[in-house]
Structure 1
Amino acid sequence: MLRYQLFPRSVGLTERLKEIITCFEVVYEDIKSPENTLNSNGVLQKLRPYLERINFTIESGKLRGEKIPVPVLFGLNNQIDKYFDADGLSKDGTIVLEVEAGRAVVNFQFLKDIFQACMMHGVEYLILGVRNNYRGGDDFQKVHAFLETLYISSRLTLPIKGVVLIGY
């Protein structure tokens, strides 16, 4: 089943965040793990029409011009000095989407996604999609436990309003 959790757990989902979760629910049968073995681009392709309807831009490929650069640092004359690429971005730039397939936990890609979202200018929320089951492991639960520890310990405070973890 589709699983999701907003961190911190002390606040509820906004209507905007619920719309994004609904997009995952609509395509769940096509992306659920372990039955489907789509890579992250395959999952994004299934989600694309629904996310675009709610004003998201979704990357179309891995080449320059197909990715979505989100500013991190600005230089002279407001030129972008540094940016990170995102899988998806709301039109207003406040919600960034990252969908991971096999590398979410194995390569700690979820940590890189969290770091990059925190550095992106204007981003308030990270939507992080991970497989429920990858090679017999529960990636959703592993990332959930990490985020739970991060938010409960309060030793590190993230500069974004929240992270929505979605397990597909």
Structure 2
Amino acid sequence: MTDYPRWSYYPKNARPPRWAEQLVQATVAVQAEIHSVPLPLEDEDRRSDAVLARLRPDLEALGYQVESGKTRANKITRPVLFGENGKPSVSYEIDAFHDSLKVAVEVEAGRGAANNADYRDILRTSLLLDADYLALFMPIAYHYRSGGKSGVMHAYDGTHSQLDAIYASRRLQLPFEGVLLIGY
């Protein structure tokens, strides 16, 4: 039996902060609704929006602003660059943000597992102003069916290996004080 969720905090020589433990506990609270192992039932929704919706109440209780829909008013937008008159000229949408802790949150699911969204999340979140930390949620396993084929992608393991390489090689310096990877 393994512990749920799987998670790692980077850099490996830093003690995980309290907010990281709180996000892990928020994941535990909705385990029955989001756990990607074993194979989900046919009618279960494992899209990232559905996973975020199940995490939203606990995240909001912890002080995070959380995306609540697809309209502009429901999105969480953070600035990257400012233009004339101090107005944001480049901004990125993220799933959640905690203003005082400066934690940016991204939740990925099938598309994220299949299309290397972890790379995009790490790079784009690195550019956000005021984001000192990244919390990245990835499915432990993503079960896919496409063109008559089916299989399992181990998204958490892939992202875990990627972050291990980034932090061990020191050739790419991320601007974060820490990164929390959670496998749900």
Residues 87 and 107 of structure 1: CA distance in aligned 2, closer, same or farther (over 3 Å): same
Give 1:105 shift. 3.1
Residue in structure 2 matched with residue 21 of structure 1 by the alignment:
24
Residue in structure 1 matched with residue 146 of structure 2 by the alignment:
none
Q: Structure 2: how far apart are the matches of 1:148 and 1:48?
A: 28
- Give the TM-score, by structure 2 length: 0.87
Residue in structure 2 matched with residue 57 of structure 1 by the alignment:
65
Q: Match of 1:81, SS?
A: strand
Q: Is 1:118 aligned to residue 126 of structure 2?
A: yes
Amino acid in the other structure paired with 1:120: L
What are the residue-to-residue correspondences of 1:7-18 with 2, within 5 Å? Answer: 7-18=10-21
Q: Match of 1:65, SS?
A: helix
Residue in structure 2 matched with residue 77 of structure 1 by the alignment:
85
Q: Structure 2: how far apart are the matches of 1:117 and 1:52?
A: 20
Q: Structure 1: how far apart are the matches of 2:64 and 2:6?
A: 21
Q: Is the 8 A contact 1:39 1:101 kept in 2?
A: yes
Q: Is 1:109 aligned to residue 117 of structure 2?
A: yes
Q: Structure 1: how far apart are the matches of 2:95 and 2:101?
A: 13
Structure 1 unaligned segments of length 5 or more: list them.
none
Q: Structure 2: how far apart are the matches of 1:167 and 1:20?
A: 11
Q: Structure 1: how far apart are the matches of 2:87 and 2:73?
A: 17
Q: Is 1:149 aligned to residue 165 of structure 2?
A: yes
- Give the TM-score, by structure 1 length: 0.95
- Residues 138-167 of structure 1 show CA distances to partners (whole Å, capped at 9, x for unaligned) of 111111001101110111101111211100
Q: Structure 1: how far apart are the matches of 2:139 and 2:53?
A: 16
Q: Is the 8 A contact 1:129 1:165 kept in 2?
A: yes
Structure 2 unaligned segments of length 5 or more: list them.
144-151
RMSD: 1.3
Aligned pair count?
168
Q: Is 1:31 aligned to residue 34 of structure 2?
A: yes
Give 1:106 shift. 1.6
Deviating 4+ runs (over 4 angstroms): none
What are the residue-to-residue correspondences of 1:152-163 with 2, within 5 Å? Answer: 152-163=168-179
Give 1:49 shift. 0.7
Q: Structure 2: how far apart are the matches of 1:148 and 1:38?
A: 26
- My pick for the range that moved more, 115-124 or 27-36, is 27-36
Larger radius of gyration: 2
Q: Match of 2:142, SS?
A: coil
Residue in structure 1 matched with residue 149 of structure 2 by the alignment:
none
